[in-house]
């Protein structure tokens, strides 16, 4: 029953750490815009609205405290993107980091791709813990010695130094997107990756920055006919020829790059027919898919729309195999959420390591987990009030009826300013990273 | 829209709910039977119409919103326009204003066009037209002319042959409202979605080589701009 990635029936979540400023006054640059674990889970990267990337590294498990998995501490911080100005349109290009994707580790250094609305960058993060000393022609401080003063020669040697982590941009992939980039995805061949904006998807080779292949283009000849945009895209985890992209109309198209150079004709289209009982003015807006993620196995994919999470079997296009309601109590409030723009919020979703549980965020700093096997779900909260070390998180409940039970929160009391849009699950263990507006919470499974 | 750093909790939900509730209450007052609204089809229709008016108003208000120097989200704009079109379709099929006429011909009627410009006086100043606010406030029993003009300027969405002669190449931006500000007619000028990369290439199917050459053009343009700005 128990074990890594086990069902929520037996997993209890504990607070582990929180990163970020404590004050309520949120600096806009500190707003977290993306969270991503690397392939081993040792590194956790966050991007923010100010264009910065912060990488946390997990400390090795200590023998003194076998109950706890290692803590995450800051490993590297760097400015990935700067604000730019588009002279043609007289518009600012935001430096906000939309997505970070790690490359699998090939050598001592780590590599990640980070993107803002227009430009993707490949960053190399490397460690330096030794430095050469004993040059013949240079002093220790770097000044050059007069060769005439050199009387003896010595061989420079490497001496240990304090660990220094350096981040350097190795590639800049620019000028290929007219519209705003919403997704990047690394292919399983580890040589290519895709970048998707509202209307187009481009395929890049990691080594080549001056050209890319356009593989999807949904821009109509007459822009007035535009009714649908691309909202997310991802490569299949095992099949390097397959990718999917989702749309603002609630459809997912799967494409095979072997079929043709331009994948405008999909191989499969996944769409669930609309429930006529739930039809409203907001039906299309809430059907817009904000995130799509393949399961680790590659058999399923998950989509997130405004009110629900859907699991699709890649062999069945007509409807999802599982649907989970994230916050159905908001359905009667759609008009208000439209008025205050919350209906346009884009929530992400993620799988746990063995694809048995899925997680997504909600409002009031709540986040939800759905156990696919045990058919159970839980609502938890990321807040400073529940942040005593190793304190177990208590499940939360939103009351929908007239009578509100003790410890429940009524829908009208929810804080729609506190939204959890970005969450990430460690690829191997039950460790999760949950981003509130400007804080990053790390929760771990309670180990006895 | 939630202002940055402004805390709006449940009160923001309450405001919008109050509007639709007030509309429902008004209908209830006029309902002689005084029956429970859910069972009365005419009452639920009325509240649906109320909501439709509210959403229509909000749509237009959101589409007009303009943040200087920041590009609008295309996804958001597409969703707003689609909602607007859906409402327009519904109003047409409901035979709003009792006119069973195709929206194109609605617009072509001279008297109607007069109406449109007269009832939208604040276009150049960018003010919200008083026409719209009165529509939001009043109930569905509002007189026909106002609802007809609502269909009319929504009909503007589909008609671009009237504006054929207007040269919009100067105004091409990805930002909808700035395109409108330059156009003479409220609320929407010719290009809903100004073709951003018309300067790049007319064809959308590009090979790696052609993409490369248009990337080079862009780089050159950037380079020239830098020189101009520095000098």
Nearest to B58 among A211, A339, A414 (CB): A339
Tell me what pLDDT residue A87 has: 87
Nearest residue in B to A214, CA atom? B206
Please indicate if any CB of chain A lies within 8 Å of the CB of B159: no
Min distance A221 CA to chain B CA atoms (Å): 8
Q: State the average pLDDT over residues B175-182.
A: 40
Q: Closest CB to A175: pick one of B75, B83, B215.
A: B215
- Contact call for A214 and B71, based on CB within 8 A: no
- Residue A16: closest CA among A426, A414, A319: A426
Residue of A383 and B23 predicted with greater confidence: A383
Instruction: List CB contacts (< 8 A) between B14 and chain A.
Output: 336, 412
Asked if A87's CB is within 8 angstroms of B229's CB, the reply is yes
Q: Is B9 on the interface with A (CB under 8 A)?
A: yes
Residue B150 CA to residue B56 CA, distance in Å, equals: 9
Nearest to A224 among B82, B191, B208 (CB): B191
CB A297 within 8 A of CB A304: no
- The per-residue pLDDT for B63 is 86
pLDDT score for A264: 83
How far is A126 from chain B, CA to nearest CA, in Å? 31
* pLDDT, position B35: 38
For residues A65 and A37, what is the distance between their CA atoms, to the nearest angstrom? 23
Residue B133 half-sphere exposure toward CB, CA atoms < 13 A:
6
- Whether residues A340 and B14 touch (CB distance < 8 A) is answered with no
| Residue contacts between A and B (CB atoms, under 8 Å) | 157
Residue A186: strand, helix, or coil: strand
Smallest Cβ–Cβ distance between B193 and the set A217, A226, A262 belongs to A226
Instruction: Report helix, strand or coil for A214.
Output: strand
Rounded distance, CA A225 to CA B192, Å?
A: 9
Are the beta carbons of A335 and B197 separated by less than 8 Å? no
- Which of A224, A339, A416 has the CB atom closest to B193's CB atom? A224
Q: Which residue of A has its CA nearest to B222?
A: A87
Residue B31 pLDDT class (50, 70, 90 cuts): very low
B174/A89 Cβ within 8 A: yes
pLDDT at position B24 is 45
User: In the beta sheet, which residues pair with residue A342?
Assistant: none
Residues 386-425 of A with CB under 8 A from B: 412-417
Q: Which pTM value belongs to this model?
A: 0.75
pLDDT for res A162: 93
Whether the CB of A279 is below 8 Å from some CB of chain B: the reply is: no
Please check whether residue B229 is in contact with residue A86, taking contact to mean a CB–CB distance below 8 angstroms. Answer: no
Cβ–Cβ under 8 Å, residues B127 and B60: no
pLDDT score at A86: 86
pLDDT (average), residues B75-89: 94
Residue range B90-124, pLDDT digits in tens = 988 887 643 333 333 322 333 333 333 333 333 33
Residue A412 to residue B160, Cβ atoms within 8 A? no
Tens digit of each residue's pLDDT (9 = 90 or more) over A342-396: 999 999 999 999 999 999 999 999 999 999 999 999 999 999 887 888 889 999 9
Contact B74 A91 (CB under 8 A): no
Inform me whether the C-beta atom of residue A29 falls under 8 Å from chain B C-beta atoms: no
Q: Could you tell me which chain A residue has the CA closest to the CA of B225?
A: A87
Nearest CB partner across the interface for A28, out of B4, B8, B229: B4
Is the CB of B12 inside 8 Å of chain A's CB atoms?
A: yes
Locate the chain A residue with the closest alpha carbon to B50: A335
Nearest-angstrom CA–CA distance, A58 and A305: 32
ipTM of the complex as predicted:
0.91
Q: What is the mean pLDDT of chain A?
A: 93
When pLDDT is cut at 50, 70 and 90, the band that residue B48 belongs to is: confident
Residue-level pLDDT at B223? 72
**pLDDT of residue B173 exceeding 80:** no
Q: What is the DSSP letter of A305?
A: -
> CA of B139, closest CA in chain A: separation in Å?
18
CA B34 to each of CA A413, B44, B48: distance values in angstroms, whole numbers, following the listed order = 32, 13, 18
Contacts of B212 in chain A (CB under 8 A): 210-211
Q: Using an 8 Å Cβ cutoff, are A128 and A187 in contact?
A: no
In tens digits, chain A (448 residues) has pLDDT values of 333 344 456 789 999 999 998 877 889 999 999 999 999 999 999 999 999 999 999 998 876 766 667 899 999 999 999 999 988 888 889 999 999 999 999 999 999 999 999 999 999 999 999 998 988 988 888 888 888 888 899 999 999 999 999 999 999 999 999 999 999 999 999 999 999 999 999 999 999 999 999 999 999 999 989 999 999 999 999 999 999 999 999 999 999 999 888 988 899 999 999 988 888 999 999 999 999 999 999 999 999 999 999 999 999 999 999 999 999 999 999 999 999 999 999 999 999 999 999 999 999 999 999 999 999 999 999 998 878 888 899 999 999 877 778 889 999 999 999 999 999 999 999 999 999 999 999 999 988 7
- The reply to whether A23 touches chain B by the CB within 8 Å rule is no
User: Which of B5, B10, B87 is the closest to A26 by Cβ?
Assistant: B5
- The DSSP result for A27-92, as a single string, is -GGG-EEEEEE-SSSSEEEEEETTSEEEEEEEPPPPSS-TTSPPPEEEEEEEE----EEETTTTEE
Q: Do B75 and A198 touch (CB under 8 A)?
A: yes
């Amino acid at each position: 029953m128990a074990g890594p990635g086990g069902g929520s029936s037996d997993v209890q979540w504990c607070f582990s750490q929180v990163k970020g400023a404590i004050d309520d006054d949120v600096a806009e640059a500190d707003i977290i815009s993306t969270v991503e674990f690397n392939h081993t889970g040792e590194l956790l990267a966050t991007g923010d609205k100010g264009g910065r990337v912060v990488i946390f590294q997990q400390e090795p498990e200590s023998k003194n405290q076998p109950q706890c998995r290692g803590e995450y501490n800051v490993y590297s911080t760097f400015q990935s993107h700067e604000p730019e100005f588009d002279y043609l349109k007289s518009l600012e290009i935001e430096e906000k980091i939309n997505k970070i994707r790690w490359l699998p580790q090939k050598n001592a250094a780590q590599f990640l791709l980070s993107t803002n609305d227009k430009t993707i960058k490949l960053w190399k993060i490397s460690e330096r813990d030794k430095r050469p000393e004993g040059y013949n022609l240079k002093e220790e401080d770097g000044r050059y010695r007069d060769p005439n003063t050199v009387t003896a020669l010595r061989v420079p040697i490497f001496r240990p130094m304090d660990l220094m982590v350096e981040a350097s941009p190795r590639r800049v992939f620019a000028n290929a997107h007219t519209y705003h980039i919403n997704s990047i995805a690394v292919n399983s061949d580890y040589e290519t990756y895709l970048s998707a904006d509202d209307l187009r998807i481009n395929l890049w080779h990691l080594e080549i920055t001056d050209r890319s292949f356009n593989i999807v283009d949904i821009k109509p000849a007459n822009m007035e006919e535009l009714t649908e945009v691309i909202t997310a895209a991802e490569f299949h985890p095992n099949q390097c020829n397959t990718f999917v992209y989702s749309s603002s109309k609630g459809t997912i198209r799967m494409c095979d790059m072997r079929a043709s150079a331009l994948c405008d004709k999909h191989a499969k289209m996944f769409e669930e027919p609309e429930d006529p009982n739930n039809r409203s003015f907001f039906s299309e807006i809430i059907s817009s898919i904000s995130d799509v993620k393949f399961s680790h196995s590659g058999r399923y994919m998950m989509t997130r729309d405004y009110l629900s999470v859907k699991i699709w079997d890649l062999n069945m296009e007509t409807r999802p195999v599982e649907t989970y309601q994230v916050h159905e109590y908001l359905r009667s409030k759609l008009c208000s959420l439209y008025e205050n723009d919350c209906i346009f919020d884009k929530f992400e979703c993620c799988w746990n390591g063995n694809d048995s549980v899925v997680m997504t965020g909600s409002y009031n700093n709540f986040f939800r987990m759905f156990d696919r096997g045990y058919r159970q779900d839980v609502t938890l909260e990321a807040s400073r009030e529940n942040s005593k070390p190793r304190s177990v998180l208590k499940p939360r409940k939103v009351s929908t009826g007239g009578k509100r039970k003790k410890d429940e929160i009524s829908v009208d009391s929810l804080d729609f300013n506190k939204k959890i849009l970005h969450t990430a699950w460690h690829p191997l263990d039950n460790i999760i990273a949950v981003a509130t507006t400007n804080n990053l919470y790390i929760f771990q499974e309670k180990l006895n | 829209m939630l202002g940055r750093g402004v805390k709006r909790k449940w009160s923001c939900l309450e405001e919008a709910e109050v509007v639709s509730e007030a509309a429902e209450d008004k209908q209830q007052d006029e309902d002689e039977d005084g029956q429970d609204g859910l069972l009365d089809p005419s009452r639920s229709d009325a509240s649906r119409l109320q909501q439709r008016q509210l959403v229509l108003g909000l749509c237009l208000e959101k589409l007009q919103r303009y943040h200087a120097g920041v590009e609008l989200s295309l996804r958001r704009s597409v969703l707003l326009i689609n909602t607007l079109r859906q409402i327009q379709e519904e109003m047409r099929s409901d035979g709003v204003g009792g006119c069973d006429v195709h929206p194109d011909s609605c617009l072509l009627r001279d008297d109607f066009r007069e109406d449109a410009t007269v009832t939208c006086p604040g276009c150049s100043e960018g003010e919200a037209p008083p026409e719209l606010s009165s529509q939001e406030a009043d109930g569905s029993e509002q007189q026909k002319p106002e609802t007809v003009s609502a269909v009319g300027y929504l009909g503007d969405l589909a008609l671009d042959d009237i504006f054929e002669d207007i040269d919009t190449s100067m105004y091409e931006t990805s930002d909808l409202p700035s395109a409108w500000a330059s156009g003479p007619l409220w609320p929407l000028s010719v290009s809903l979605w100004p073709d951003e990369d018309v300067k790049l290439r007319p064809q959308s199917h590009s090979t790696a080589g052609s993409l490369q050459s248009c990337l080079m053009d862009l780089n050159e343009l950037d380079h020239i701009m830098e020189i101009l700005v520095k000098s």
